[in-house]
Structure 1
Amino acid sequence: MAEPLRVLVTGAAGQIAYSLLYSIGKGDVFGPKQSLVLILLDIPPMMGVLDGVLMELQDCSLPLVSSIVATADPKVAFTGVDFAILVGAMPRREGMERADLLKANVKIFESQGQAINSYAKKTVKVLVVGNPANTNCLVCMKNAPSIPKENFTCMTRLDQNRAQAQIANRLSVSCDAVQNVIIWGNHSSTQFPDAAHASVDINGKKENVVAAVKNDDWLNGEFIKTVQVRGASVIKARKLSSAMSAAKAICDHMKDWWFGTPEGSWVSMGVYNNGSYYGIPADLIYSLPVTIGKGGEWSVVPGLTITDFAREKMDLTAKELVDERDTANQFVQPQ
């Protein structure tokens, strides 16, 4: 059994974590031979609920989990962690302006970035899930200057999974037959789900998705809109957010970051853009197609053809991210 990895999940008393922690603990992310220390962080008012989550994890009797820590103390939570999955965030409430949401989350992710900087391993890999995920990730990263920028990502894998599922349903194939759908930009309703470079395996033959679907109006219209508003659609139907699918996407994201992507395939991740990728403005966490090596190093897929239609969509979501960043910067405390 390998030396235990210290894996932190914030917002650990919430419904996403409730679906997530068992999957991590039983080996869905880091494999069946990797022992784990699970660290559960939440705010003090949630400690009663968190105690219940702790008891359930203990009662699962998971062989890979060597110990579990439940705490409201960031120093205890972040000390020596290998992976930090930041699920907890201030949700947008009815009547709340976007600036109010950003202001609340800047405070949260400033403090978590500072805790990462002070206590986590310098090799820690950070996944931000709590929304607005891209900008929360940027704030967190900027407050942890001792950690490489490449070690901060935000989750757009749920959007990728949603897009793959829509195409698979359209073509009556299994989801794993669809590869290399791209999510560009922000994890929001401006994101651009792009099937132009995707492929699908139909009866053992690989085809371009656009050629297989044979309906540009659907791909450029209903398909994009469905993926963009899928989270809201789930809330409307379920009266709760999409916890199960979000937890699955977190596992997918982290598994690929740990093991690497298969040859010939890529995945979508919100990563730090230094201004050298596809004409996207610098200093944003922007979702891009990446391949990941066995050591966890990601590389943006180069040389993809960008149509005028795609360019317009990519620039629109970039503009939203610039606006979010600039708004968030108004609330950043001077160091």
Structure 2
Amino acid sequence: MAEPLKVLVTGAAGQIAYSLLYGIAKGDVFGKDQALVLVLLDITPMLSVLEGVVMELQDCALPLLREVIPTDKEEVAFKDIDAAVLVGSMPRKEGMERKDLLKANVKIFKSQGAALDKYAKKTVKVLVVGNPANTNCLIACKSAPSIPKENFSCLTRLDHNRARSQVAIRVGVPSDDVKNVIIWGNHSSTQYPDVCHAKVKVQGKVCGAYEAVKNDAWLKAEFITTVQQRGAAVIKARKLSSAMSAAKAICDHMRDIWFGTPEGEFISMGVISDGNSYDVPEGLIYSFPVVIKNKEWKIVEGLPINDFSREKMDATAKELVDERDTALEFIGSV
């Protein structure tokens, strides 16, 4: 069995982590023969809850799990880690302006970025889940200058999975028969779920999503808003956020980083823009279609972009520019 990987999950006492940790610990992410050490970070008042999570992980009797380390200290949590899933963030509270939310999260992710820089392996792969995920990822990345910026990504796989599922339900096929949907931009209500390049397998024949769905009006309106607003719809129905599907998406995202994307398929993830892909401004963490090989992602280039898509891609980029500029105003003051 391979030497243990050290994997950090922050916000580890929360409900997303509660759904996530079992999947990681039983081998769904890093492989069925990969031993693991799990590090669980949360704030001090949550340590007693963390102890309960540790007991449950122990009681699962999972053969891959070598050790579980609960902590409220960044110097312990980030020490020599191979992978980090940064779930914990300041949630938006009633009466809180988006600017207030950004300021609170700049403080968290500046500190965690600095801890990554100081304590983690330089090869660490960092996935930011806590919202606003794209901008939190950017702050962590900027605060860890000794770690390659390509090692940072944010989660838009949940939106990607939602888009696949909506098309699959509409056509009446398994979700695995829908491939190459794209989430462009921000993990927010401005994101653009794009099926212009998607492929759907219907009765043994592979065709485009528009041909498979046979309802252009639905694909250009209701489909997009359903994906954009799905998180809010789940909260309205459950009175809690989408923890199960978020945990599944995290597992999908990290597994693809570790093992690569299947030949001929691409997935969506928020990565740093160099300014050369699809006219997205340089320095944004923006969701693109990517392929992954040998733990390195590459943006899928050259996809034709129609006017409808261009408008939506630019709108979500504008929101990200505004978020970035606001966050960078705060970064020196926290």
User: Does the TM-score normalized on the shorter chain lie above 0.5?
Assistant: yes
Correspondence 1:178 to 2:178 = yes
The correspondence of residues 116-265 of structure 1 with structure 2, limited to 5 A, is: 116-265=116-265
Q: Which runs of 4+ in 1 moved over 2 A?
A: none
Corresponding residue SS for 1:254: helix
Structure 1 alignment gaps of length 5 or more: none
Note the aligned Cα RMSD (angstroms).
Answer: 0.8
Which segment is superposed worse, 159-168 or 200-209? 200-209
Pairwise CA distance, 1:260? 0.1
Q: For residues 104 and 22 of structure 1, what CA distance do their matches in structure 2 show?
A: 29
Q: For residues 299 and 88 of structure 2, what CA distance do their matches in structure 1 show?
A: 28
AA paired with 1:310? S
Identical counterparts, % of pairs: 69
Q: Which residue of 2 aligns with 1:98?
A: 98
Q: Which residue of 1 aligns with 2:296?
A: 297
AA paired with 2:308? F
Describe the superposition over 1:236-286 as per-residue Cα deviations: whole angstroms up to 9, x where unpaired: 000000000000000000000000000000000000001011001111000
Describe the superposition over 1:276-327 as per-residue Cα deviations: whole angstroms up to 9, x where unpaired: 110011110000000000x211100011000000000000000000000001
Pairwise CA distance, 1:183? 0.1
Correspondence 1:80 to 2:85 = no
Corresponding residue SS for 1:52: helix
Q: Which residue of 2 aligns with 1:61?
A: 61
AA paired with 2:250? I
Pairwise CA distance, 1:334? 6.5
Q: For residues 94 and 161 of structure 2, what CA distance do their matches in structure 1 show?
A: 28
Say if 1:132 and 1:74 are closer, same or farther in 2 by CA, change over 3 A: same
Corresponding residue SS for 2:121: coil
AA paired with 2:162? R
Q: Which residue of 2 aligns with 1:309?
A: 308
Pairwise CA distance, 1:330? 1.1
Q: For residues 2 and 109 of structure 1, what CA distance do their matches in structure 2 show?
A: 31
Count matched residues: 334
Q: For residues 257 and 210 of structure 1, what CA distance do their matches in structure 2 show?
A: 30
AA paired with 1:59? D
Q: For residues 218 and 188 of structure 2, what CA distance do their matches in structure 1 show?
A: 20
Q: Which residue of 1 aligns with 2:44?
A: 44
Q: Which residue of 1 aligns with 2:279?
A: 279
TM-score (norm 2): 0.99
Q: For residues 18 and 63 of structure 1, what CA distance do their matches in structure 2 show?
A: 19
Pairwise CA distance, 1:81? 0.3
AA paired with 1:83? A
Q: Which residue of 2 aligns with 1:322?
A: 321
Q: For residues 31 and 14 of structure 2, what CA distance do their matches in structure 1 show?
A: 24
Describe the superposition over 1:23-81 as per-residue Cα deviations: whole angstroms up to 9, x where unpaired: 00001101110110000000101001111001100111110011110000101010000
AA paired with 1:263? E
AA paired with 2:110? E
Describe the superposition over 1:69-126 as per-residue Cα deviations: whole angstroms up to 9, x where unpaired: 0000101010000000000000001111000000000000000000000000000000
Q: For residues 304 and 316 of structure 2, what CA distance do their matches in structure 1 show?
A: 18
AA paired with 1:115? A
Q: For residues 203 and 25 of structure 2, what CA distance do their matches in structure 1 show?
A: 36
Q: For residues 217 and 206 of structure 2, what CA distance do their matches in structure 1 show?
A: 22
Pairwise CA distance, 1:215? 1.1
Q: For residues 306 and 176 of structure 1, what CA distance do their matches in structure 2 show?
A: 25
Structure 2 alignment gaps of length 5 or more: none
